[in-house]
Amino acid sequence: MSAAVEPTWPTVRVTVSVRELDWVSGELWNLGTTGIAEHPLPNGDVTLVCGFPSEDEAVSALSCLPMSWHPVVDVVHGAEWLDAWREHFPVTRIGKFLLVPAWKKTVGRPGQHRSEAVERSPNLGPDDIVLALDPGRAFGTGAHPSTALILELLPRLVTPGMSVLDVGCGSGVLSVAAALLGASSVLGVDIEDEAVRVTRANAALSNVLSAVVATTTPVAAVSGTYTLVLANILAPVLVALAEHIVERVAPGGHVVLAGLIDTQVDHITSVYEAQGLTLESTAEQGIWRCMVLTR
């Protein structure tokens, strides 16, 4: 009987600044990566290790990348690099939410999931909302500033029974959070099939699958309007989809835009005000910005 052959993964390795991180990740997805692992460096930069289906595809992707990112093609044995971050995924508090690694969860009060770490926490209040999350191998944990800014705003924007559209749902953390706050209808859309699968799985973990629908339907093809529209995507995409995002907002409704940095706020504001929206407020965390607009 022959020994099992350890799988190998062609990867592209690049080093970028934190400021570039989201944009670079988006570019790598466009080039066909199947997964991204982040490794922070002591100088503040981040090394991204990105898996590809074949070495030819990895080499092709490398040829499209700026040399300033120091791109290198490697072959990694085994897939542990994609899951290593799980060991270091802590329980994270963001506003009213406690984000809990789903693989550590135990069931607490009905409809809620808690890890052992949360059960031992003396800071768990009666109004805290525990959100179990398994972001898969490449999608957001909720701790990125652009996602955290929206999570902090959601309790004042979501009212029971309202409808929510989450454009670029990723791991579904915002869709699930809105449903946990009482939204009765949440539609998450994303261009990635894996994002749809992960969003559905996370909705099931928090017992809100009946309220959350995830699909790869383009936002331009979504019908109807929503009281609240969330779009946590890169600034160029916010611009490209502005007309379609605004079309989905019900009169008197809100749009929350994130995924942009300080130098992009004025341009994004002008684009959305030209579509008939009014800027209500902005929030910030470091260089990252979040905008709330009304129709």
Same domain, 284 and 178: yes
So what's the pLDDT on residue 258? 94
- Is residue 6 exposed (0-12), middle (13-18) or buried (19+ Cβ within 10 Å)? exposed
So what's the pLDDT on residue 110? 45
So what's the pLDDT on residue 57? 86
So what's the pLDDT on residue 279? 97
Q: Among 46, 67, 85, where does a domain finish?
A: 85
Q: CA 130 to CA 122: how far, in whole Å?
A: 14
Bridge-based pairing of strands 226-232 and 288-294 is: unpaired
Same domain, 63 and 155: no
**Cα 80 to chain centroid, rounded:** 22
Same domain, 74 and 187: no
Same domain, 54 and 170: no
Q: Among 39, 70, 85, where does a domain finish?
A: 85
Q: Among 70, 85, 100, where does a domain finish?
A: 85
Q: CB-side exposure of 182: number of CA atoms within 13 Å? A: 9
Same domain, 191 and 47: no
Collapsing DSSP states into helix, strand and coil, what is residue 201? helix
Collapsing DSSP states into helix, strand and coil, what is residue 9? strand
Q: Write the CATH number for 78.
A: 3.30.70.260
Same domain, 176 and 78: no
Q: CA 99 to CA 148: how far, in whole Å?
A: 11
- Is residue 73 exposed (0-12), middle (13-18) or buried (19+ Cβ within 10 Å)? middle
Same domain, 80 and 206: no
**Within 10 A of 156 (CB to CB), how many other CB atoms are there?**
11
Structural domain including 244 reads 140-294
Structural contact between residues 245 and 229, judged by C-beta atoms closer than 8 angstroms: yes
Same domain, 194 and 260: yes
Same domain, 72 and 192: no
The verdict on residue 114 lying in a domain is no
Residue 49: CB partners within 8 Å, gap ≥ 6? Answer: 11, 12, 13, 36, 37, 39, 74, 76, 81
Q: pLDDT of the chain along its 295 residues, tens only?
A: 445 555 667 888 899 888 788 778 778 877 878 777 777 777 778 888 888 878 888 888 888 888 888 889 987 776 665 565 566 566 778 889 988 877 765 444 444 545 555 555 556 777 888 888 887 654 566 667 888 899 999 999 999 999 999 999 988 999 999 999 999 999 999 988 888 998 999 999 899 999 999 999 999 999 999 999 999 988 889 999 999 999 999 999 999 999 888 899 999 999 999 999 999 999 998 788 999 999 9
Q: CA 100 to CA 176: how far, in whole Å?
A: 13
Same domain, 73 and 216: no
The verdict on residue 126 lying in a domain is no
As for how many domains the chain has, the answer is 2
The verdict on residue 123 lying in a domain is no
Q: Write the CATH number for 221.
A: 3.40.50.150
The secondary structure element, H or E, covering residue 283 is strand 278-285
The verdict on residue 94 lying in a domain is no
Give this prediction's pTM: 0.76
